[in-house]
Amino acid sequence: MVTNPTGTRQVRRKILSALNYNCQPVLKMTPDFEIPMRVLGIESSCDETAVAVYDGAQGLLAHALHSQVALHAPHGGVVPELASRDHVRKLLPLVREVLNEAGAAPESIDGLAYTAGPGLMGALLVGATFAQSLALAWNRPCVGVHHMEGHLLAPWLEPHAPDFPVLALLVSGGHTLLVAVEGVGDYRLLGESIDDAAGEAFDKVAKLLGLPYPGGPALAALAETGAPDRFHFPRPMLDRPGLDFSFSGLKTAVLYAVREAQAEAPLDDRLRADLARGFEEAAVAVLAEKCRRALAQTGLRRLVVAGGVGANRRLRAALLQMGASLGVEVFYPRSAFCTDNGAMIALAGYHRLRAGERGAGAVRARWPIDGLRPPGQQTG
């Protein structure tokens, strides 16, 4: 899978020597017929390094995350090369931390899972190389998983998880997807953003308002103090049928409002908060209405919401309210499992390893979710 074999060998050697392994399978062998039940998950697709241990019998045993916010903040956004280097620095300490916290010896790990895409190419390669090296050293199977499948399955990390089928709204920094989900790996894409993803729109509008990276949470916090009705921004794509989204027009509408206001006077805190609130109201209204339509169209009675924007309080409240009015049950993971985390990758990997998948294939910057197949049926 790796496009840079020399670099990969070097990284492997470094990891193995740091772990005091000399390429010997020193730990318990997993015979082919044994189902891997305890999975170490590794997430490194963007600006968070995250590791977790998920156990099929006991659930999530431990998870740890290192955020690169401080690293990228001076640059106003994610710098891919810095992200890759930081993943290299942080993965090993995080693995040690979660194994320790889980009380899990390395030999109790039955398989490894890493994010194989979509995401930043260099960052993905670091996680893939690291996971495959550990798998080699520990003589364990390894599988590359889809980042958005990880997000989609995050609600099943919680004690009150839904039965299938469900409608999934996945709202992250790179994707806005509505998916009909029959089961793990059985996904029918109903709608997606034709331009900016929801999280990307939050981030760009935050930048317009002078907020620091990462913009989404900062914008949401500012919007808390804003007036809901001072700015009424357009609700894109609600005037036409279909379940696709578009957020770039909404972002442009905020830009014009900012320019208009700035022509009068510099933006003050009140105005910025009201603009943030106006934007958030419009974005949430669009997401909620598209969910309502998708539920009506599919007849599904359960909605799961995940991805970074799923941590947004106003969105959570709006969807819960909509669900209550329709008799639809709405499920979220806790906020820490809406944003990127290792637990969701461990869980997705658990399903795939358990079914016998051993796909340590190429990492992919782009990877449509509806190209996935149920565990055990995935090829490449």
Question: Binder to ligand KG4 among 84, 129, 312, 378 (CB under 6 A)?
Answer: 312
* Residue closer to Zn ion, measured from CB, 280 or 340: 340
* Cα–chain center distance at 370: 16
- Residue closer to ligand KG4 by CB (options 11, 65) is 65
Nearer to ligand KG4, 86 or 203 (CB): 203
Contacts of 310 (CB under 8 A, 6+ apart): 169, 170, 171, 316, 332, 333, 335, 338
Asked if residues 150 and 347 have their Cβ atoms less than 8 Å apart, the reply is yes
User: What whole-number distance in Å separates Cα of residue 289 and Cα of residue 302?
Assistant: 15
- Minimum CB separation of residue 161 from ligand KG4 in Å reads 19
# chain residues binding ligand KG4, by CB under 6 A = 20
Among 307, 323, 333, 349, binds ligand KG4 (CB under 6 A): 307
| Structure tokens belonging to residue 335 | 């906020």
Give the whole-angstrom CA distance, residue 100 versus residue 85: 24
Cβ of 298: how many Cβ atoms within 10 Å? Answer: 16
Sign of the CA dihedral 233, 235, 237, 238? negative
Largest CA-CA distance found in the chain, in angstroms, rounded:
72
Contact partner, 202, from ligand KG4, Zn ion, none, Cβ < 5-8 Å per class: ligand KG4
Which residues within the stretch 201-220 sit at the binding site for ligand KG4 (CB under 6 A)?
A: 202-203, 214-217, 220
Q: Is 44 in the site for ligand KG4 (CB under 6 A)?
A: no
Q: What is the token pair recorded at 89?
A: 């620095």
By beta-carbon proximity to Zn ion, the closer residue of 281 and 340 is 340
Closest separation in Å from C-beta 127 to ligand KG4 = 14
Question: Which of 51, 309, 343, 353 touches ligand KG4 (CB under 6 A)?
Answer: 309
- Angle at the Cα of 106 from the Cα atoms of 101 and 108, rounded to 5 degrees: 95
203 binding Zn ion? (CB under 5 A): no
Choose which of 47, 48, 340, 357 interacts with Zn ion (CB under 5 A).
340
| Helix, strand, coil distribution of the chain in percent, nearest 5 | 50, 15, 35
308 interacts with ligand KG4 by CB under 6 A? yes
Of the candidates 44, 172, 176, 312, which one interacts with Zn ion according to CB under 5 A?
172
- Provide the edge-to-edge strand list for the sheet that holds 142-146: 59-67, 48-55, 38-43, 111-117, 142-146
17, two tokens: 């020597």
174 binding partner (options ligand KG4, Zn ion, none; Cβ < 5 to 8 Å by kind): ligand KG4
Measured between alpha carbons, how far apart are the two ends of the chain, in Å? 10
Cβ nearer to ligand KG4, comparing 37 with 177: 177
Please tell me whether residue 172 binds ligand KG4 under the rule CB under 6 A: yes
* Candidate list 43, 196, 340, 357; residue touching ligand KG4; CB under 6 A: 340
Footprint on residues 216-245 left by ligand KG4 (CB under 6 A): 216-217, 220
Q: Does 61 bind ligand KG4 (CB under 6 A)?
A: no
List Cα–Cα distances, 115 to 29, 40, 77, 120, 220, in angstroms: 24, 12, 21, 11, 28
- Residues whose CB is less than 8 angstroms from the CB of residue 197 and which lie 6 or more positions away in sequence, other chains included: 171, 172, 173, 174, 175, 176, 247
48 scored as a contact of Zn ion (CB under 5 A) = no
Closest to 191 in 3D by CA, of 177, 171, 208, 205: 177
Q: With binding defined as CB under 5 A, does residue 44 bind Zn ion?
A: no
Total binding residues toward Zn ion, as defined by CB under 5 A: 2
Contact between 323 and ligand KG4 per CB under 6 A: no
Q: Is 167 in the site for ligand KG4 (CB under 6 A)?
A: no
The smaller minimum CB distance to Zn ion, of residues 11 and 157, is found at: 157
- Positions touching Zn ion (CB under 5 A) are 172, 340
Residues of the shown chain interacting with ligand KG4 in the complex, contacts defined by CB under 6 A: 46, 172-174, 199-200, 202-203, 214-217, 220, 307-309, 311-312, 339-340
